[in-house]
Chains A and B, each alone.
Chain A
Amino acid sequence: AQSVSQHNHHVILSEAASLELGCNYSYGGTVNLFWYVQYPGQHLQLLLKYFSGDPLVKGIKGFEAEFIKSKFSFNLRKPSVQWSDTAEYFCAVGLSGTYKYIFGTGTRLKVLA
Chain B
Amino acid sequence: DTGVSQNPRHKITKRGQNVTFRCDPISEHNRLYWYRQTLGQGPEFLTYFQNEAQLEKSRLLSDRFSAERPKGSFSTLEIQRTEQGDSAMYLCASSLDTATEAFFGQGTRLTVV
List chain A positions with a Cβ less than 8 A from chain B: 4, 6, 34, 36, 42-46, 49, 51, 90, 92, 94, 97-106
Q: A99-B31, A99-B48, A100-B33 are in contact. Are A90 and B42 (CB under 8 A)?
A: yes
- CB pair B42 A4 closer than 8 Å: yes
Residues in B41-82 with C-beta less than 8 Å from chain A: 41-45, 48, 50, 55-56
- CB pair A103 B99 closer than 8 Å: no
List chain A residues, Cβ under 8 A from B93.
Answer: 44
Number of A-B contacts (CB under 8 A): 54
Tell me whether B104 is interfacial, beta carbon within 8 Å. Answer: yes
- CB pair A43 B102 closer than 8 Å: no
List chain B residues, Cβ under 8 A from A44.
Answer: 43, 91, 93, 104
In the bound complex, what is the Cα–Cα distance between A36 and B107 (angstroms)? 15
Interface size class of B (residues with CB under 8 A): 20 to 34
In the bound complex, what is the Cα–Cα distance between A91 and B106 (angstroms)? 18
- CB pair B42 A100 closer than 8 Å: no
Q: A44-B91, A44-B104, A46-B103 are in contact. Are A99 and B55 (CB under 8 A)?
A: yes
Tell me whether B101 is interfacial, beta carbon within 8 Å. Answer: yes
Neighbour of A49 across the interface among B41, B50, B56, B101, CB < 8 A: B101
In the bound complex, what is the Cα–Cα distance between A100 and B10 (angstroms)? 25
Q: Which residue of A lies closest to B103 (CB)?
A: A46
- CB pair B106 A105 closer than 8 Å: no
In the bound complex, what is the Cα–Cα distance between A100 and B43 (angstroms)? 11
- CB pair A104 B106 closer than 8 Å: no
In the bound complex, what is the Cα–Cα distance between A51 and B99 (angstroms)? 8
In the bound complex, what is the Cα–Cα distance between A34 and B99 (angstroms)? 12
Closest Cβ of chain A to B110, distance in Å, is: 16
Tell me whether B40 is interfacial, beta carbon within 8 Å. Answer: yes
- CB pair A34 B106 closer than 8 Å: no
